């Protein structure tokens, strides 16, 4: 009996100890929660325990804002020529260096012209022979014309001589055609640049036999100044692009790797006449002057197409625009160094500035940094003022607490007037 009573007491004591431990843990958790709740920035600011909230502000300004459509383009040489030989022969001279810029008409290479020169001389001599025969036939024709009047020759002989003269005239015309053909073939022994551009890597070395039927090119010539750019945009933008394009040339900017620096500026040349149904996009072609060769054939480049400009738009820094359950809003600076939540409507936004269509006026001050502790009606202290897109130098400001500390130090300074 005594043993069972002792066991019951021990169980009771263990239970009471457990309850005490749970109570202590609960007290600690409650204290932590109360401390965290009391340390919330918004709560302290609303109660006014921590004083004004330091913020940065900017003024809403009026500006002309360009409207861009972004895309990715592929550069392509404006013209590309695969230079091949038009005649067979030995390559006796290469007149260019790899990567050289050449003008139209530049002699890129020469093929041994000996055979083709001989063929040209042969047809020239043949024409001279036929011209001599024609001259003799015409003399006989004049003689037969005089003799037929005295019945010394028959009319048939005269007609035969006229036909011979006409035959020799036709032969000379054929000889001239052969001369033109031989001259053209002879000229093909000099391979001329058909366009101005830059040479690539040479594919055939001097001394090799080249053939017109060979698929191997001597070199590839590309025109990179100016250069073309092909890019695709969603079909949803097609109506806006067509409307802007009908009003005049549209500017296209090629961006650098940072997607900010403009490497070259060109103009839109062509909008494709159909939409790609598989992708829902339309292809466009632009042309860039490319004076510094910043664009290269086959390169992928970020581009933006200027389709419109918003005149006299109200602009604020993008950092000032916040989003909540009811839409976009800003913290508007009020008189008395307080802020108010102001709902706004935006029409265009990028990483730097946002266009406000309603909710603000030019000159309104909005908070750009320091939103964590802000609420409607919060007290603020402005640490810095800046323009939308053009930050101004920081202005030194004093907090009330700092002023109080300096005042106390001045009072405690020795020799100060009482």
Can you give 186-198 as a three-state secondary structure string? HHCCEEECCCCEE
CATH of domain 53-64+312-396: 2.40.420.20
| CATH level 2 (architecture), domain 113-188 | Orthogonal Bundle (1.10)
Q: Are strands 262-276 and 251-255 parallel, antiparallel or unpaired?
A: antiparallel
Question: Distance between CA 103 and CA 110 in Å, rounded?
Answer: 17
| CATH level 2 (architecture), domain 68-78+224-309 | Beta Barrel (2.40)
Q: What is the pLDDT of residue 9?
A: 59
Q: What is the pLDDT of residue 144?
A: 86
Strand locations in 98-137 (E): 101-102, 107-111
- Below-70 pLDDT ranges, the chain: 1-21, 23-50, 384-418
Q: What is the pLDDT of residue 148?
A: 84
Q: What is the pLDDT of residue 385?
A: 63
Degrees, nearest 5: CA angle 307-311-316: 100
Q: What is the pLDDT of residue 412?
A: 35
Distances (CA, A) of 196 to 77, 101, 298: 12, 8, 19
Residue with tokens 């969603």: 234
Give Rg (Cα) of the chain: 46
Read off the pTM: 0.64
Question: Distance between CA 99 and CA 127 in Å, rounded?
Answer: 45
pLDDT, one tens digit per residue, over 308-330 is 999 999 999 999 999 988 899 99
Q: Give the start-to-end residue ranges of the domains of the chain.
A: 1-32, 53-64+312-396, 68-78+224-309, 113-188
CA 257, 262, 266, 268 torsion-angle sign: positive
DSSP string covering 232-293, please?
EEEGGGHHHHHHHHHHS--EEEEE-TTSSSEEEEEEEEEEEEEEETTTTEEEEEEEE--TT-
Greatest CA span in the chain, whole angstroms? 180
């Amino acid at each position: 009996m005594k043993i069972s009573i002792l066991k019951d007491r021990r169980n009771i004591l263990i239970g009471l100890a457990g309850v005490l431990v749970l109570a202590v843990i609960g007290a600690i958790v409650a204290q932590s929660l109360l401390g965290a709740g009391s340390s919330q920035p918004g709560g302290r600011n609303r109660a006014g325990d921590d004083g004004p909230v330091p913020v940065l502000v900017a003024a809403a300004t009026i500006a002309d804002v360009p409207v861009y459509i972004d895309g990715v383009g592929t550069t392509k040489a404006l013209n590309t020529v695969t230079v091949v030989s038009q005649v067979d022969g030995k390559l006796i001279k290469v007149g260019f260096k790899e990567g050289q810029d050449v003008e139209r008409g530049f002699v890129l290479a020469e093929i041994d012209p000996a055979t083709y020169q001989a063929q040209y001389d042969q047809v020239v001599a043949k024409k001279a022979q036929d011209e001599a025969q024609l001259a003799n036939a015409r003399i006989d024709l004049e003689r037969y014309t005089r003799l037929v009047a005295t019945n010394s020759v028959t009319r048939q002989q005269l007609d035969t001589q006229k036909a011979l003269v006409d035959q020799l005239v036709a032969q000379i015309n054929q000889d001239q055609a052969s001369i033109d053909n031989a001259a053209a073939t002879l000229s093909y022994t000099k391979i001329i640049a058909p366009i101005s551009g830059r040479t690539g890597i040479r594919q055939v070395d001097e001394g090799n036999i080249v053939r017109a039927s060979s698929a191997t090119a001597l070199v590839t010539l590309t025109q990179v100044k100016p250069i073309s750019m092909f890019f695709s945009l969603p079909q949803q933008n097609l109506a806006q692009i067509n409307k802007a394009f009908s009003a005049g040339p549209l500017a296209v900017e090629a961006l650098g790797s940072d997607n900010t620096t403009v490497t070259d500026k060109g103009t839109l040349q062509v909008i494709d006449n159909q939409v790609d149904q598989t992708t829902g996009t339309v292809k466009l072609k632009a042309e860039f002057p490319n004076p510094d060769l910043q664009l290269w054939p086959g390169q992928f480049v970020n581009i933006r197409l200027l389709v419109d400009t918003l005149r006299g738009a109200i602009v604020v820094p993008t950092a000032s625009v916040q989003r909540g359950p009811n839409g976009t809003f800003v913290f508007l600076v009020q008189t008395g160094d307080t802020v108010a939540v102001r709902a706004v409507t935006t029409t265009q936004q990028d990483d730097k500035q946002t266009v406000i269509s309603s909710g603000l006026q030019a000159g309104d001050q909005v908070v750009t940094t320091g939103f964590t502790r802000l609420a409607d009606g919060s007290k603020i202290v402005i640490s810095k003022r800046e323009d939308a897109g053009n930050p101004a130098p920081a202005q030194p400001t004093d907090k009330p607490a700092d002023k109080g500390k300096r005042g106390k130090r001045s009072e405690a300074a020795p020799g100060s007037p009482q």
